[in-house]
Amino acid sequence: MNHIKTFVLLAGLTALFVGAGYMIGGPTGMLVALVFAVGMNLFSYWNADKIVLRMYGAVEVDAGHPEPLVRAYVADIEDLARRAGLPRPRITVIDSEQPNAFATGRDPAHAAVAASTGLLGLLDRDEIRGVMAHELAHVKNRDTLTMTVTATIAGAISALANFGLFFGGSRDDDERPGGLIGTIALAILAPIAAMLVQMAVSRSREYEADRIGAEIAGDGRALARALEKIEAYARGGAVNVEAERNPATAHLFIVNPLTGKGADNLFSTHPATHNRVEALLRLGVSQATRGRAGTAVPAGDRRIGPWG
C-alpha cells in the first residue's frame, strides 16, 4: 500500500510540473516539461546521493579518522547496518552547527548517511545511534530514493513557476491558457501544491522510520531523547545555511532544518516532534513489558553508554 501511495504522490508531483509547463507555454510548454520531468527523474535516480551530498558539502569518513567521536560514529553505523541486514553505507559528516542527519541513495547498495558536526557534539552515543538507526530505517524501507526525487521535482516546480512569472513575456499570452494572471497564480500556487505533496511523502514515512529505527538500535527512548534535544536546539536559532537555500530538501532530515523565518516553513514536512516522542515512549514501554514477560533481549540491544 505504501508503494502505491508513493507512486501516486510522485505522479502527482510530475503532473504538477507538466501542468506548470502548460500554463506557461501551452501545449509546447507541456511537452517540454514532460520530457524534462522524465529526464529529471532518471537523472535523480542515478545521481540522487551525489547531488545531495555535494549540496551539503558532506565529507566521507572511515575508521581511520583522527577524531575519536567520528571513529565511534563510523563503528556504530557499521554495527547498526549489520543489525539491520544492510550493506555498509557511505558514511559522511557535514560541517554544520545545527544538529541533524539524513540518508540518501537510490537503494541500500548505493546508500549514504550524513550527520552534522553539531549532532555529534550535542548527543551522547546512545542518542546518536538512535538517530542513525532511524536513517538506516529509511534506507531499509527504500524511502531515500522517493525522498530525494521528491525534493528534486518540488524544487524544479518552484523554479519553473518563478521562471514563468519573471520571464513569461506578453507576446505569447494567446498561447498560454492562463495568460499573465494565470502565470502569477501558478507562481504562487504551484510551489505550495508541491510542498503539500512533498509533505505527504515525508510525514507518512517518519513514524515508520522511528519505529524500525528503535528496533534496530534496541532503544526507542534514546531516539526520543535525541529528537527532543535536536528540536530544542533548533528553536535556539542554529541555522543550516544550505537547507535555507534549498528548502525543497528539508524533508530529508530527521528534524525540519528550516528556521521558519520566512514562508519556507509554512508547511512542515515532519510530524510534530512531541507526537513522535510519545509514539517512541509507548514503543519503549511495550518493549520493556515484553522483556519482563520473559522475551530475551539480545546482547547487542543493550545500551552502550555515553561518549567515552
- As annotated, the active-site residues are 135
| CA dist., res. 97 & res. 94, Å (int) | 9
Residue 117 identity (one-letter amino acid):
T
Phi-psi label, residue 123: left if phi above 0, alpha if psi -120 to 50, beta otherwise: beta
| CA dist., res. 172 & res. 167, Å (int) | 11
| CA dist., res. 57 & res. 71, Å (int) | 19
In DSSP notation, 13-42 reads HHHHHHHHHHHHHHHHHHHHHHHHHHHHHH
Residue from 241, 240, 76, 266 nearest 255 by CA: 240
What spatial distance separates the first Cα and last Cα of the chain, rounded to whole Å?
A: 44
Q: In what order do the strands lie in the sheet with 101-104?
A: 59-60, 90-94, 112-116, 101-104
Which residue carries 510525514 as its cell?
Answer: 203
Q: What SS3 state is found at 294?
A: coil
Task: List the grid coordinates of 108.
Answer: 541500500
